Chains A and B, each alone.
Chain A
Amino acid sequence: MTFTAPIWLALAAAAALGVLVAHLFSPSVPRRERLPTTRFIPADAPLAVLRTNRLSDWLLLLLRLTVCILLGLALAGAHVPKRAPARVLIVDGSRAVASVAELRDSARARDGDVVIVFDSVARRATQDTLPTLQPSGAKGSVSAALVAAHRALQGFGEGRAESELVVVSPFTREEVDSATALLLQRWEGPVRLVRVGAATAPNRHRVEVRAQGDDPVAATFALRPEAVGQPVRVIRTRPTAADSAWARDAGGVLVLWPVKADSSLEPGAQASAVVASSAVVVARFARADAVGSGVPAARWSDGAVAASESPLGAGCVRTVEVGVDPVGDLALRASFRAFAYRMVEPCSGARDFAPVDLPRATPAAPALQTPAGREPVWFALLALVALIAEQVIRARGRAA
């Protein structure tokens, strides 16, 4: 048990001592009653008596001492730290996992383990769900899982240094970021990384473009076409319901890239650069006023969203509000080509299942400070219960 204000313990002890002394040595004058036959009471009876040795008197003393001690503990901020679990198991449920069987076999939870399953988000699970775990099509984030693991140990004051962290994942490049190694280093206890097979994502799909006339975007994809990792359909004209159904049911990427056909491009609508991940294009573009909601896939140089992605069934819809000048050599530039292929990446971005080596966690960095559980309110509530009991017993003693 630890205390935040131990001085209150000393004060409570002093109060308890005072209660004990008062209980044992203070005389009590009984209540007065009219009785016409008073003259028959022996004249030598004392008018004040010391406290008698009734069981209820000792019970009252015990309750009063209990109230003092409990109030002292409550005011001193006493808390009993809970013991951390023996193991925290993180299981990768993202698209990077190649074999479900290998994943389930590697992720064996024991009683008392904290289980966390992650893809793009991390969530607590039970050991019963692991045998039926199915990887999702979402991109994984080991950092998100590690943050959840650290939070799972919040409120535990003891045993954190003995709590083992086990991470079962392919540890692909797309799942690991700059915070992953730091979060591993912050873990106080031992860390074990269990690598399972990573998925492969052969780029075997061609980009399908539906456009009219001499379309610069269609020309970009037609010149030196590259295979992509997911069926893609770029719609430069009006999309149809069949397109949405295709994306939803076939799990394709539907790219809505309307033509901003205006060869002159009003000055107010022009932008100078657009950025999509590492692809940057500096040119004259037509710019829409607003882009639909979704995860930003590209931004203008001023930070406004130029393209966004929204999930749709098994696939997704990516809206690109970047008007391309039909006149000029933009379609031939390598920067625009890189940007265009960013727009036709698989849902949630390009798949990069290349394995990454993570440094073994050595707790060189200071452990993350999490506030230990405080339970002084329980001591205060128990003190209140004891006080009520003391009142009831004292009232019964008067009425008896």
Chain B
Amino acid sequence: MLRSAAAGAALTPYAELLDALVGLTWPSAARVRAGDPGAHRSTRLGRSPEFTEYRAYRPGDDLRRLDWKLFGRTDRLYLRIADDHAALQTTIVLDASASMRFPEEGPGKWEHASAIAIGLSAIAINDGDAVGVVVTDTSGADRVIPPRRRRDILHDAAALLHSVTPDGAPDLAGTIRRQESPPRLVVVSDFLGDAERALPELAVAAAAGSEVVVIHVVADAELDPPRQSFLAEDPEVPALRRAMSDANRAAYDAAFAAWRENVAAQCHAMHANYALTLTSEGVRDLVRRVVAGHAAQFQRASS
């Protein structure tokens, strides 16, 4: 009773979001490995009522799958083939570096990323998938909630994310590597720390068969910094200080845009589902965009 009351309190900030996401599904981009029963088409053909195709009988096939009506019409033996459905374990990795704690006043990138993680977790849980949450830590020992299919994973994830204060420069690339290419890997980060090492690790996971989802979080204040002159300080690299003024604003905009394009291009190259989101964007819209993007990919793959 006590645990459920406390856990309920952790999910209270996301109540409206969870209500808005009811009914959404998050289909996989491709057939998943056969495993626990789930909502995603698996690579294995099964005995579900959903008819897929006929195949000619080969010696050794299960005689119970013969379509006798077709034999009566054609005098040939054919097997009825149906799809099998399996669950898709989803691991969500969140970047808790110091750059995610921006802006300091009001909801920032970390709060935005936390809401995205809870939203995607809820949809995956509703699909019957196991969900795990991993938060990077500067100590190297990531804070992990192992994947499970019980709905209370949402409560635990919310409590964990609420307790985290982004700080330092944790090793996102190492965290990604330690997940060992889960079936579905979601990374929510601003990639301002170590994009050069993290993106290749994502490419490795994708090459190993993981369905990679990259959610790139950008703060509005990073896209449009304050107009008056100021001395900018990098929260992850305190020694890095540069003066921002009207004279170099155009160069800043161009460099930042080019970097974002580069990240997107690398993600597309590894066939990852890439979504850039601003902190001003509604989480509900972003989550729908992500799962809809997967739906489009699934339709293309299955057509």
Contact = CB atoms under 8 A, between A and B. Distances in A.
B104 interface: yes
Contacts of B256: 37, 40
Interface in B219-254: 219, 221-222, 225-237, 240-245, 247-248, 251-252
Interface string A34-58: 1111111111011111000000000
Interface residues of B, number: 35
B77 interface: no
Interface string A235-249: 000000000000000
B259 interface: yes
A41 B232 contact: yes
Nearest to A33: B230
A30 interface: yes
B99 interface: yes
A224 interface: no
A36 B235 contact: yes
Nearest to A41: B242
Contacts of A42: 242, 248, 251-252, 255
B236 to A, nearest CB: 7
B192 interface: yes
B102 interface: yes
B190 interface: yes
B190 A30 contact: no
A35 B228 contact: no
Given A36-B99, A37-B192, A42-B252, A47 B232 contact: no
B229 A37 contact: no
B222 A39 contact: no
Contacts of A36: 98-99, 102, 190, 192, 219, 222, 234-236
Contacts of A29: 231
Given A40-B259, A42-B252, A400-B228, A47 B192 contact: no
Contacts of B222: 35-37
Interface residues of A, number: 23
B268 to A, nearest CB: 21
Contact of A47 (B104, B228, B236, B243): B243
A399 to B, nearest CB: 8
Chain A CB within 10 Å, residue with most, of B227, B232, B252: B232
Contacts of B192: 36-37, 39
Interface in A1-59: 29-43, 45-49
A34 B102 contact: yes
Contacts of B233: 32-35, 38
Chain B CB within 10 Å, residue with most, of A30, A35, A397: A35
Contacts of B234: 35-36, 38-39
B266 to A, nearest CB: 17
A159 B283 CA distance: 82
A37 B259 CA distance: 11
Contact of A32 (B230, B236, B240): B230
B230 to A, nearest CB: 5
Contacts of B231: 29-33, 47
A35 B218 CA distance: 12
A45 B228 contact: no
Interface in B129-144: none
Contacts of B235: 34, 36
Given A36-B235, A41-B248, A31 B230 contact: yes
A388 to B, nearest CB: 22
Contacts of B255: 40-42
A398 B228 contact: yes
A37 B102 CA distance: 10
Contacts of A30: 228-231, 243, 245
B243 A35 contact: no
A39 B226 CA distance: 16
A81 to B, nearest CB: 48
Interface of A: 29-43, 45-49, 397-398, 400
11 contacts: A30-B228, A33-B244, A34-B104, A35-B222, A36-B219, A36-B235, A37-B192, A38-B241, A38-B242, A41-B243, A48-B243
Interface of B: 98-99, 102, 104, 190, 192, 219, 221-222, 225-237, 240-245, 247-248, 251-252, 255-256, 259
